[in-house]
Amino acid sequence: MNVILINGHGGIIDGVYQTAGKRSPIWPDGRQLFEGDFNRIVVSSLVRSCKFLGMDCIDLVPELEDISLDERVRRANEVYLKRPDSIVIEIHANAGGGTGLEVFTTIGRTKSDPLAEIMIDSMERTLRPFRLRADGSDGDRDKERNFYVIRKVYCPAFLIECAFMDTYEPDCRMMLEAPEQFATAILNGIINLQKKLK
């Protein structure tokens, strides 16, 4: 199994965040989370851990610039054509005033759904008591939206919203202070996916 990791949005270049919006409020302690920066911290940690464990993975968007969605899809599909055992995992931070984690696949039953279920199970066990925001109406716990990248890539794909950056406790505080906990939770999911797909 080859894991294509995609960090959502841009990073920070010379102190300038590359994506409009996509940031937490400035909290009373003066801290602020920039989503693209958080996403890159998680992906970088995952790449290091996967390589240490001998698992195949790729950081699809290593640049700090906010690479277009079309280019992200093009790159992922290029990798997939060379490695048809690839899956896409897109990493994001959520917003909208909620709390907890969410995992999204595209609408309808696809090959991505059982893979997302494995990831959900692993993340729930690792991040306990952090709660999953689930949609069980179709018999599984992932949510379904036709987000552009996961809809357009050729391979199985799902998108993880790690937590809510506009909810300080426990979400944004944990993202600011311990982003590696989200990386560990996702890594456990990747390990279990690899076992399942052998």
Question: Cα–Cα distance between 164 and 90 in angstroms, integer?
Answer: 16
Please tell me the predicted confidence (pLDDT) of residue 197.
84
Q: Which 8-state DSSP code applies to residue 156?
A: -
E strand or H helix at 182? helix 179-197
- Give the CATH number of the domain where residue 163 resides: 3.40.630.40
Mean pLDDT of 84-95: 98
- Is residue 84 within 8 Å of 76, Cβ to Cβ? no
- 129 pLDDT higher than 80: no
CB atoms inside a 10 Å sphere around CB 156: 22
> Which pLDDT band, with edges at 50, 70 and 90, does 128 fall under?
confident
pLDDT on residue 138: 85
State the amino acid at position 104 in one-letter form: F
pLDDT for the residue 16: 97
Percentages of the chain per state (helix, strand, coil), in multiples of 5: 40, 20, 40
Taking only the tens place, the pLDDT of each residue in 37-77 is 999 999 999 999 999 999 999 999 999 999 999 999 999 99
Domain with 143, as residue range(s), is 2-197
- Count of the separate structural domains present in the chain: 1
Q: Is the pLDDT reported for residue 136 higher than 90? A: no
Angle between helices 35-52 and 179-197 (to 10 degrees): 50
In 3D space, the residue among 52, 43, 44, 55 whose CA is nearest the CA of residue 1 turns out to be 55
pLDDT given for residue 139 in this prediction: 85
